[in-house]
């Protein structure tokens, strides 16, 4: 190759890199699904935190709680169908989605916010449905305020292993070096894309739209600080949850993706053994987010369970 040819190759490579970097750095555009479903965002002030939620339907109350790094978006495919028979509320926990970003975020703060929301919205006899971190928060609220909760659905719930069970990529993103690198929009997008590839067994589910919906809340100021505070909270807060499992008296359904790469399917059996009278359902060919990967199956399970079947 001539000197001029090498120069052209370098310029072409640089141009491709610049275009790719610009594409990856573009701001996330989330929220289109809310408009498509004609959902109205609402806000509740609970314990000094502003909590975003949506509410729709009528009937027995049902509260949906997302997992770590997620938002009410994770319930997109279930909201309207569940609202045909239930008064459905889906909330963004403090530190996530469209809710406020406390600098002192901890598991106790999350559990307290959920309990406060139940009281604020006058939800009694509610069915709590929690995925991942949301499952742990739902468990804590059920143990603390059993008079408010009629049934409990745990979907690939956190609860065993304490903060050490949080995946390395999340701990790294919340660390000092990780937080600095994550200031780059391109790095954030790649991190979200790579994380979703871990969470889904069916990788075709990792679409550009889904990446944007997960990325948009993470770009809000204070997100990294809240996440760091949560991960640095005393491990005793998390381990206390294991001590109260046996006291949960609400009928409990445990749903798990068999190919969950974050929380192993063996945890489903551990929850089943620890919670008296609970029922365990394992979904084959499914990862950490069954409500997004197998929404029809999860919908059928929740409907049947909430109806006492």
pLDDT band with cut points at 50, 70 and 90 for residue 283: very high
Structure confidence by residue, pLDDT tens digits, 62-94: 999 999 999 999 999 999 999 999 999 999 999
The per-residue pLDDT of the chain, averaged, comes to 85
Find the helix or strand (DSSP H, E) in which 19 lies: helix 3-25
pLDDT band with cut points at 50, 70 and 90 for residue 232: confident
Choice between 113 and 234, residue whose per-residue pLDDT is larger = 113
Average pLDDT, integer, range 276-297: 97
What is the DSSP code (8-state) at residue 184? S
Q: What is the DSSP secondary-structure string of 77-100? A: HHHHHHHTTSEEEEEPPTTSTTS-
pLDDT band with cut points at 50, 70 and 90 for residue 15: very low
What does the alpha-carbon distance between residue 64 and residue 148 come to, in Å, rounded to a whole number? 15
CATH architecture of 28-306: 3-Layer(aba) Sandwich (3.40)
Average pLDDT, integer, range 256-279: 94
- Tell me the domain boundaries of the chain: 28-306
Q: What is the pTM of this model?
A: 0.88
Choice between 180 and 243, residue whose per-residue pLDDT is larger = 243
Choice between 57 and 24, residue whose per-residue pLDDT is larger = 57
């Amino acid at each position: 190759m001539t000197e001029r040819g090498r120069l052209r190759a370098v310029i072409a490579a640089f141009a491709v890199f610049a275009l790719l970097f610009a594409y990856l750095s573009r701001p996330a555009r989330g929220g289109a699904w809310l408009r498509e479903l004609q959902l109205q965002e609402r806000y509740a002030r609970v314990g000094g935190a502003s909590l975003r939620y949506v509410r729709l339907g009528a009937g027995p109350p049902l509260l949906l709680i997302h997992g770590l790094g997620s938002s009410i978006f994770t319930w997109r495919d279930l909201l309207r169908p569940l609202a045909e028979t239930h008064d459905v509320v889906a909330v963004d926990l403090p530190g996530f989605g469209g809710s406020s970003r406390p600098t002192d975020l901890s598991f106790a703060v999350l559990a307290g916010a959920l309990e406060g929301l139940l009281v604020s919205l006058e939800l009694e006899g509610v069915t709590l449905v929690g995925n991942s971190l949301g499952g742990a928060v739902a468990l804590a609220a059920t143990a603390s305020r059993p008079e408010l909760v009629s049934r409990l659905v745990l979907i690939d719930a956190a609860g065993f292993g304490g903060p050490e069970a949080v995946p390395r990529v999340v701990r790294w993103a919340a660390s000092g070096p990780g937080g600095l690198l994550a200031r780059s929009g391109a790095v954030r997008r790649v991190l979200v894309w790579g994380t979703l590839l871990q969470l889904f067994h069916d990788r075709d589910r990792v679409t550009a739209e889904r990446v944007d919906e997960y990325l948009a809340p993470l770009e809000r100021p204070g997100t990294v600080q809240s996440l760091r505070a949560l991960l640095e909270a005393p491990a005793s807060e998390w381990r206390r949850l294991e001590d109260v499992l046996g006291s949960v008296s609400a009928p409990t359904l445990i749903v798990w993706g068999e190919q969950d790469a974050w929380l192993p399917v063996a945890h489903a059996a551990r929850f089943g053994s620890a919670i008296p009278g609970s029922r365990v359902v394992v979904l084959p060919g499914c990862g950490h987010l069954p409500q997004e990967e197998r929404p029809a199956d999860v919908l059928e399970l929740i409907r049947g369970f909430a109806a006492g079947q």
